[in-house]
């Protein structure tokens, strides 16, 4: 614990939804929900306007639609959010060399280590300056908490929302925490909270009064001792500048359970390719391949295989994941598949590059069937566009679900996901408002423009192509 509130916690306000509102003038001041739009999708972020209807993160998307049927429902644009996050993290880096990112929109900063604050007044000044800089750089707002520990700084930023700053003076932690629910403490989720409630502990002061021995008896040595310390406001965790990744993984939840074994194998191979893409982007290789399968009854199986050395070869990862799948019973259907790589290293074992090819040859020699249909072509021709019929200011919440990203091919027809960027040869930059029945509705506007007009095109209009996100500040 510190004598001065020099630990800062920044949490961007409704980050994904706010970024969408800032980039789409027609959505400003209106309810916006970002997340998976399929039957099993969940809410990633809801704007404050949507939260007034009871929509919140991690809520099933179907429930959100019932609560706020007129909201705009958009798929996430993670590359766009990441670009904004990089701008924010750069601003944090100017304050201190000790910045600990927790996610794209959240981080701790050690102001003392940066020499910008050593008391309450200088810490507050640094926090206010940061909020001004974030708004000027990104056009978005963030909430700042300042305290003598990470736990209290995070609580402070939550109290500051939206678009505020709260400073909690060291020495006042117990008074602050005492009447609060036990759920305010890190590590106390619904299950632990209910367990404590049954034991008669609903507030933080209840935990402090119960004593460490009682909490250890209820929750175990590590969790009980840690919770007792936090209930007294004590948290000496340092701000850690670098968090080494322990694994890289990707997974997909399917709208309809997969039963066909060939389709399941194809999805596993596709996930393996994506996983390797992330692995290479992080500058790592790995030696343990992990397969995750969630079955129709929600039971989850994981299987792993450790290679002779680290690799970032997609063929190696793909073949290993395929071997792991052979040992999993998928009878009854599969809801989710995931592929991961752990045991990360900063180098690649060169002799593994030939492993996938060698195993393929071995399988062929053993009589495995070869794929003989590789020469088939899918030459579906594009039909002419609709001519761009203008529809005026249609409702921003058009939410026809598109299973793939904008402009991707599937079953001879391009799919356009609500919220994604597009560009038209005549009308310029816009975003997909909705699609379905062979048509796609686009609103043409940019961050600095007035709310734009809406036009409808055939989904395969050759003049409509996927676009790039425009910067929120200084954009087109």
Which pLDDT tens digit goes with each residue over 351-396? Answer: 333 343 444 444 444 443 333 333 333 233 332 233 444 444 433 3
Instruction: Say whether 175-231 and 1-171 share the same fold.
Output: no
- Regarding pTM above 0.85, the answer is no
Confidence (pLDDT) at 413:
58
Residue 222 has pLDDT above 90, yes or no: no
Confidence (pLDDT) at 182:
94
The residues near 407 (Cβ < 8 Å, ≥ 6 apart) are 414, 415, 416, 422, 465, 466
CA 347 to chain centroid, in Å, comes to 27
Find the DSSP H helices in 27-119.
48-51, 61-67, 78-95
Determine the average pLDDT of the residues in 141-166. Answer: 96
The CA distance from 141 to 20, in Å, is 13
- φ and ψ at residue 266, rounded to 5 degrees: -65, -40
Residue 410 has pLDDT above 60, yes or no: no
The CA distance from 36 to 419, in Å, is 12
Buried b (16+ CB within 10 A) or exposed e, 61-89: beebbebbeebbbbbbbeebbebbbebbe
Binned at pLDDT 50, 70 and 90, residue 223 comes out as: confident
The CA distance from 296 to 49, in Å, is 36
Residue among 313, 310, 312, 314 at smallest CA distance from 345: 310
Confidence (pLDDT) at 258:
93
Residue 330 has pLDDT above 60, yes or no: yes
The CA distance from 416 to 431, in Å, is 10
CATH hierarchy code of domain 247-365: 3.30.1490.100
Structural tokens at position 463: 């003049």
Confidence (pLDDT) at 474:
62
Binned at pLDDT 50, 70 and 90, residue 256 comes out as: confident
Does 162 sit behind a cis peptide bond, omega within 30 degrees of 0 on the bond before it?
A: yes
Determine the average pLDDT of the residues in 334-356. Answer: 69
Q: Please, what is the average pLDDT of the chain? A: 84
CATH hierarchy code of domain 175-231: 1.10.150.20
Structural tokens at position 73: 């429902």
* CATH pick for 1-171 out of 3.20.20.190, 3.30.70.270, 1.20.120.530, 3.30.1280.10: 3.30.70.270
Question: Catalytic residue numbers?
Answer: 106
What ranges do the domains of the chain cover? 1-171, 175-231, 247-365, 389-466
Determine the average pLDDT of the residues in 236-244. Answer: 80
């Amino acid at each position: 614990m510190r004598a001065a509130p020099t630990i800062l916690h920044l949490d961007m306000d409704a980050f994904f939804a706010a970024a969408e509102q800032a980039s789409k003038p027609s959505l400003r001041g209106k309810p916006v929900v970002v997340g998976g739009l399929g039957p099993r999708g969940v809410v990633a972020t809801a704007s404050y306007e949507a939260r007034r209807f009871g929509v919140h993160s991690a809520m099933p998307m179907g429930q959100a639609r019932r609560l706020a049927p007129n909201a705009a429902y958009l798929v996430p644009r993670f590359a766009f959010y990441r670009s904004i996050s990089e701008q924010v993290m750069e601003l944090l880096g100017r304050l201190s060399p000790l910045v600990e990112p927790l996610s794209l929109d959240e981080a701790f900063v050690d102001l003392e280590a940066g020499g910008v604050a050593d008391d309450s007044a200088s810490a507050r000044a640094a926090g206010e300056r940061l909020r001004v800089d974030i708004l000027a750089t990104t056009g978005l707002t963030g909430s700042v908490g300042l305290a003598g520990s990470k736990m209290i700084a995070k609580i402070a930023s939550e109290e500051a929302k939206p678009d505020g700053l709260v400073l909690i003076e060291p020495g006042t932690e117990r008074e602050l925490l005492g009447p609060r629910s036990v759920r305010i403490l890190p590590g106390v989720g619904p299950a632990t909270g209910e367990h404590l409630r049954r034991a008669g502990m609903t507030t933080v002061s209840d935990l402090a009064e119960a004593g460490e021995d009682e909490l250890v008896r209820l929750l175990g040595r590590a969790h009980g001792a840690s919770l007792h310390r936090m209930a007294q406001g004590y948290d000496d965790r340092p701000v850690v500048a670098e968090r080494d990744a322990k694994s890289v993984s990707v997974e997909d939840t399917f709208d309809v359970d997969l039963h066909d074994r060939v389709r399941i194998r194809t999805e596993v191979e596709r996930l393996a390719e994506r996983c390797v893409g992330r692995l290479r982007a992080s500058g790592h290789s790995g030696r343990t391949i992990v397969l995750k399968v969630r079955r129709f009854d929600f039971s989850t199986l994981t299987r792993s295989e450790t290679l002779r050395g680290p690799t970032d070869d997609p063929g190696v990862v793909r073949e290993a994941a395929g071997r792991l799948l052979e040992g999993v019973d998928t009878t009854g259907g599969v809801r989710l598949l995931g592929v991961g790589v752990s045991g990360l290293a900063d180098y690649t074992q060169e002799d593994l590059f030939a492993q996938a090819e060698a195993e393929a040859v071995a399988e062929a020699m053993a009589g495995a069937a070869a794929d003989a249909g590789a020469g088939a072509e899918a030459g579906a021709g594009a039909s002419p566009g609709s001519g761009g019929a203008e529809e005026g200011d249609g409702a921003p919440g058009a939410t026809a679900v598109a299973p793939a990203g904008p402009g991707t091919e599937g079953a001879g027809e391009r799919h356009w996901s609500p919220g994604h960027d597009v560009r038209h040869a005549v009308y310029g930059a816009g975003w997909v408002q909705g699609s379905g029945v062979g048509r796609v509705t686009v609103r043409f506007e940019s961050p600095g423009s007035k709310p734009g007009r809406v036009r409808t095109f055939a989904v395969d209009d050759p003049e409509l192509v996927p676009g790039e996100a425009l910067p929120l500040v200084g954009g087109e």
